[in-house]
Amino acid sequence: MTAIDTSLSKADRQLILSALRSPRGHYPCERASQLSGIPARTLRDWRHSGVLVPDWSNSSLYGWSYRDIVYARLMAWLRGKGMNRDDAAGRIGLLRGELAAADIDPTIADDPTVRSDGMVFLIGQEHIDRLTGKQVFGALISFLDVFELVEPIEDVSKGNLWGPSLIRPSEHTYISPNVVAGEPCIIDSRIPTSTIHGLRSERGLDVHNIIALYPQLDETRITDAIGLESRLPRALPRAA
């Protein structure tokens, strides 16, 4: 399998940080589940319990934003470290507010990150957990695990949870919160991978038939798009 280049340019980082400051993208719950790697039942449970309320919860177009997917992964990561839901929700709320208000320089490699061992939660270069007031001294920070918000994320928690990179989900696809409501698309196009997958799985078209409909695409990109959609996880029947 060809390795995917997951390095992010300054423009990539700026794009994602903009999407963390305000709602961008729009996903129904099932699609948010696929892209986050979090079971749909769990997302609904978090919403109804107020643990993680999606940006578009009160909108007529109910759904989850791009940053909701990032925060859902962060919630799963913190839960996987043993942090209880209320504490994790409180810290994610603090982070959401910080990112919404702060003017963060996307060229700084360590900004924004969060660090945690399941007990404390540090934002960026801070040494104090804002929720508890507990200070972590410099020598101990290196022992905390890092969750990098603006880098592609593959492993969201312990267990059978997988989510694609949220910027380059496969070799020939990309995600932009500002393009097609944040849907994965084939590179150098605005064609959603779900559209291509639907032509193959629902209409039974082969690659050559799809090329006839989209002559700007080639076999490699079509095959990659179908492969991505085929790999995306389906909802798992459990909550966390």
Per-residue pLDDT tens over the stretch 224-238 = 999 999 988 754 444
- Residue 109: per-residue pLDDT: 46
Assigned domain for 210 exists? yes
Contacts of 52 (CB under 8 A, 6+ apart): 43, 46, 68, 71, 72, 75, 89, 92
What interhelical angle do 85-101 and 66-80 show, nearest 10? 140
Assigned domain for 196 exists? yes
Assigned domain for 239 exists? no
- Residue 5: per-residue pLDDT: 56
User: What are the phi and psi torsion angles at 17 (to 5°)?
Assistant: -65, -35
Region of poorest pLDDT, from 137-146, 179-188, 195-204: 137-146
Assigned domain for 3 exists? no
Instruction: Give the mean model confidence (pLDDT) for residues 95-121.
Output: 72
DSSP single-letter state for residue 114: E
**Nearest CA-CA partner of 167 in 5, 23, 21:** 5
Q: How many domains does the chain have?
A: 1
What pTM was estimated for this model as a whole?
Answer: 0.85
Instruction: Give the mean model confidence (pLDDT) for residues 83-112.
Output: 76
**Residue pLDDT, tens place only, 4-61:** 555 667 777 778 888 888 899 999 999 999 999 889 999 999 999 999 999 998 877 7
Q: Give the residue numbers spanning the domain of 40.
A: 10-231
- Residue 144: per-residue pLDDT: 83
Assigned domain for 212 exists? yes
Assigned domain for 55 exists? yes
**Residue pLDDT, tens place only, 103-112:** 555 444 445 6
Assigned domain for 89 exists? yes
Assigned domain for 5 exists? no
Give the helix/strand (H/E) hosting 70: helix 66-80
